[in-house]
Amino acid sequence: MSQHSNRLKDESSPYLLQHAHNPVDWYPWGEEALQRARTENKPILVSIGYAACHWCHVMEKESFEDEGTASVMNEHFINIKIDREERPDLDHIYMDAVQTMTGSGGWPLNVFLTPAGKPFYGGTYFPPRPVYNRPSWKEVLQGVVNAYRDKQEAVESQADNLTQHLVRSNEFGMQSVTELGSDPGTVFTQEKVRLMYANIMKTADRLEGGFGGAPKFPQTFTIRFLLQHCFHTKNEEALLQACLSLDKMILGGIYDQLGGGFARYATDGAWLVPHFEKMLYDNALLVTVLCEAFQLTKNPLYERAIRQTLSFVEREMLSPEYGFYAALDADSEGEEGRFYVWDKANIDQLLGQEAPLFCAFYDVTEEGNWEHKTILNIKVPPAEFALQHGITEEELWSQMDKCRGILMQARNRRIRPLLDDKQLLGWNALMNTAYSQAAAALGNDHYREVAVRNMEFLLARFKHPDGSFQHTYKEGVARFPAFLDDYSALIQALLQLQEVTGDTSYLYTAKGLTTHVLDNFSEEETGFFYFTPTGMADIIVRKKEVYDGAVPSGNAVMAMNLYCLGIIFDVPEWRERSVRICSLLQQTVSRYPGSFGVWATMVQALTFDIPEIAIIGGDFAMLRADVLRRFIPVHVLQSAPSEPSNQDFPLLGHKPYSTDAAIFLCRGYTCQQPVNEADALIRLMGTV
């Protein structure tokens, strides 16, 4: 093995391959490294990051590419690199440990373990020299070496205590089953929903949109809660805050004004300066909430953002096999954001006489708005700007789109940020759901076709011969057993795809996957689910993840899936399990709805009842398309040309058949008189 090539060279993760030529003797996580640590009684250094992580690159350049630092690491530690997107289970465990020790977390995550894999010390980014009250990386290494040599008993004790804490943290925020009484469903009250709403609005930024201060994340789950809250309660303030948040993001620098798509978060409170990486899951979740906002408001700004974002996804993140890639890096040519920012002189030269209007609209100035460069953003709302310049809004967008095309051509000649081309099952499923939602909201057949082709890819390429699924796929190879988030998102995507296609095969697949989750992930005493399947030998604790973080909690999504599939296939124990786990958490959800946005949306839906909608007969597909364009919060929807001959779908059964398509609105399979227009359905929902 050459001096500058380590064991990561045989991996497929772009993040691990970035470190394959470090002088550090990196191992991938696995039995070889763990066994060597046990044999040599050496502490393990686990360093976790991901390909689009800016500070991961910084620490690599400063420390992991440095020969002197690497020699210390190689002499005293067994060094393991992990891609957090490949092994989110390990990331969750060791991130929790570091947050417990230090009060904060992030990436790169550097954590020191005993040879048994138990954490005893860690942190995030460490500089090469002491700065900002942070010790240097070499000081940290030396401190750990000394502690492990001189105070091994204390180290082991700290590691045992931390591991016990990780086990106990699984119980966070859950009422005991005995507290709930005999009927868990009685805990859902409109008063609790109002409390959730009030607690959300305490953190709302009513000027710039979003929630809390900088850094600002999209918080799509909270926005969805507010949209649905407005539908249920007619609270216009909820709608106002939801739309303000979306408007500010779409007009801000977090949105790629040229190419479409959203960056991961804004570093400031006004959405101007993004952390420039683009993640598949953020764009999926934002498209989903924009579809709901468009259904509710018909604001063309939302339709435009949906179309541009999905255009970006297909242009830059779709594989020839119809899988979606994971992420685009923030950096290019060694600089964060370089690919995306502009000089005014450059724009003037490219656009000529069109430049003044473009620069006025997109806030382009000589001095720039970020590090002497310009991040394109829109300061004055388009309608207002058009009025000021004596043109219609259509004329404004038409001119701007022509200019955007010219600048895109120029930008495409730049050196591109790196693409993380692995494909993750859960993230693909989130984007699949977004495409189904866009097909519904915009009545767009192309989006439905992309969802169908992507689902074919997922069901074919991620499936293991034993019927289970794998988590990640690249270049023909699927790896690592799928996690709860993967299965829950895939089941949800199948349910959504069934809505827009009427294809019941997706429901049978979803039912089979749900049975698999129940058999392999269940914690029987509570009804919640573990993040990892049974039988994973290389983790020190099986965690239950209940927070809705950057992606939805697999437990929250399973609560929705179980309820919907329980209705569709008439499996009462699935519905009851859904209600039960929502009940166990709802006290915590009421207090901290911002951290439990998907749960909050489900609790709200259970409080106001979840409608069951059947569309049968005649030109049912056209009527279905009309219904799907409307905003209907959490619901169950099935459609068919006629009543099915089998008894698998009670919602479609026992309906009076007519040659005209009819819509039935039901609760617990008890249906209202049928109606034959989408508007009539919405009116009916308002009176029930």
- CATH assignment at residue 145: 3.40.30.10
487-521: pLDDT as tens digits? 999 999 999 999 999 999 999 999 999 999 999 99
- Report the pLDDT averaged over residues 632-640: 96
Task: Return the closest-CA partner of residue 451 out of 284, 272, 269.
Answer: 284
Q: Which of 363, 378, 413 delimits the end of a domain? A: 413
Contact 339, 411 (CB under 8 A): yes
- So what's the pLDDT on residue 1? 38
Is the residue at 243 inside a domain?
Answer: yes
Cβ atoms 646, 604 nearer than 8 A: no
Distance in angstroms (rounded) separating the CA atoms of residues 415 and 313: 19
Same domain assignment for residues 439 and 545: yes
Instruction: State the pLDDT at residue 675.
Output: 95
Smallest CA-to-CA distance from 134 within 52, 80, 55 is with: 55
Phi, psi of 388 (to 5 degrees): -60, -30
Residue tagged 């001095």 (tokens): 367
Q: How many Å apart are CA 484 and CA 468, to the nearest integer?
A: 12
Confirm if 625 and 638 have CB atoms less than 8 A apart: no
Question: Of 397, 426, 437, which is closest to residue 286 (Cα–Cα)?
Answer: 437
Give 323's DSSP letter.
P
Say whether both 405 and 435 belong to one domain: no
Contact between residue 461 and residue 482 where contact means Cβ atoms under 8 Å apart: no
Same domain, 92 and 76: yes
Neighbours of 137 (CB within 10 A): 24
List, in order, residues 6 or more apart from 459 with CB less than 8 Å away: 509
CA 251/CA 261 separation, integer angstroms = 12
Whether 52 is covered by a domain: the verdict is yes
Do both 318 and 447 map to the same domain? yes
CA distance 39 to 55: 33
Mean pLDDT computed over 417-443: 98
Q: Are 84 and 56 in contact (CB under 8 A)?
A: no
Q: Exposed, middle or buried, 573 (CB in 10 Å: 0-12/13-18/19+)?
A: exposed
> Two tokens at 583?
């009940």
- What span, in angstroms and rounded, lies between the C-alpha atoms of 304 and 309? 8
Residue 318 DSSP symbol: B
Q: Span 309-324, mean pLDDT?
A: 98
Residues 106 and 161 in one domain: yes
Is residue 135 within 8 Å of 126, Cβ to Cβ? yes
User: Do 583 and 620 share a domain, yes or no?
Assistant: no
Query: Does any domain span residue 155?
Result: yes
- Determine, yes or no, domain membership for 59: yes
Angle (nearest 5°) at CA 542 between 536 and 548: 120
What is the average per-residue pLDDT within 267-275? 96
Stretch 368-382: mean pLDDT, rounded? 97
Q: What is the pLDDT at residue 314? A: 98
Q: Give CA angle at 280 (441, 404), nearest 5°.
A: 75
- Reduce the DSSP state of residue 134 to 3 states and report it: strand
Q: Residue 688: is its pLDDT beyond 70?
A: no
For the stretch 218-250, pLDDT in tens is: 999 999 999 999 999 999 999 999 999 999 999
The stretch 624-628 carries a mean pLDDT of: 98
pLDDT of 687 > 80? The answer is: no
Whether residue 129 lies inside any domain: the answer is: yes
Query: Nearest to residue 137, comparing CAs of 81, 80, 59, 82?
Result: 59
Q: What backbone torsions phi and psi does residue 675 show, to the nearest 5 degrees?
A: -125, 165
In this structure, how many other beta carbons lie within 10 angstroms of the beta carbon of residue 233?
16
Taking 80 as the threshold, does the pLDDT of residue 320 lie above it?
A: yes
Q: Residue 288 and residue 437: Cα distance in Å, rounded?
A: 6
CATH number at residue 245: 1.50.10.10
Is 178 part of any domain? no
pLDDT tens digits along 168-215:
887 766 665 445 455 666 689 999 999 999 999 999 999 999 999 999
Q: Which range is least confidently modeled, 283-292, 407-416, 430-439, 661-670?
A: 661-670
Beta-sheet pairing, 331-332 with 327-328: unpaired
Query: For residue 150, what are the CA distances in angstroms to 143, 147, 206, 394?
Result: 10, 5, 55, 73
Report how far apart the first and last C-alpha atoms of the chain are (Å, whole number): 72
- 55, 108 in Cβ contact below 8 A? yes
Is residue 177 included in any domain, yes or no?
no
Task: Report how far residue 366's alpha carbon sits from residue 4's, in angstroms, rounded to the nearest whole number.
Answer: 45
256: tokens are: 């790629």
Name the band, by pLDDT with cuts 50, 70 and 90, for residue 563.
very high
Helix (H) or strand (E) holding 640: strand 636-640
| Domain, as residue range, for 636 | 612-687
Model confidence at 623: pLDDT above 70: yes
Q: Indicate the pairing of strand 278-279 with strand 327-328.
A: antiparallel
Q: Which of 74-83, 182-191, 367-376, 556-565 has the lowest mean pLDDT?
A: 182-191
pLDDT averaged over every residue in the chain: 94
200/107 same-domain check? no
CB-count burial class (<10 Å; 0-12, 13-18, 19+) for 197:
buried
In degrees rounded to 5, what are phi and psi of residue 529? -125, 145
436-481 pLDDT, tens digit each: 999 999 999 999 999 999 999 999 999 999 999 999 999 999 999 9
Domain end among 413, 430, 446: 413
Pairing of strands 44-49, 78-83: parallel
User: Quick check: 20 and 241 in contact, CB under 8 A?
Assistant: no
Same domain, 305 and 387: no
Per-residue pLDDT, averaged over 262-284, amounts to: 97
Q: Is the CB of residue 69 less than 8 Å from the CB of residue 137?
A: yes
Q: What is the pLDDT of residues 93-152, one digit of tens each?
A: 999 999 999 888 999 999 999 999 999 999 999 999 998 788 999 999 999 999 999 999
If asked whether residues 264 and 385 sit together in one domain, one would say no
* Alpha-carbon span 274 to 369, nearest angstrom: 12
Q: Give the max Cα distance, the chain.
A: 84
Is pLDDT above 50 for 2? Answer: no
Is residue 165 located within the same domain as residue 307? no
Closest residue by Cα to residue 305 from 318, 329, 286: 286
Please state the domain count of the chain.
4
Least confident range from 4-13, 429-438, 505-514: namely: 4-13
Contacts of 589 (CB under 8 A, 6+ apart): 196, 596, 599, 600, 603
Tell me, yes or no, whether 256 and 164 share the same domain: no
* Residue 248, in any domain of the structure: yes
Same domain for 202 and 324?
A: yes
> Of 124, 145, 171, at which residue does a domain stop?
171
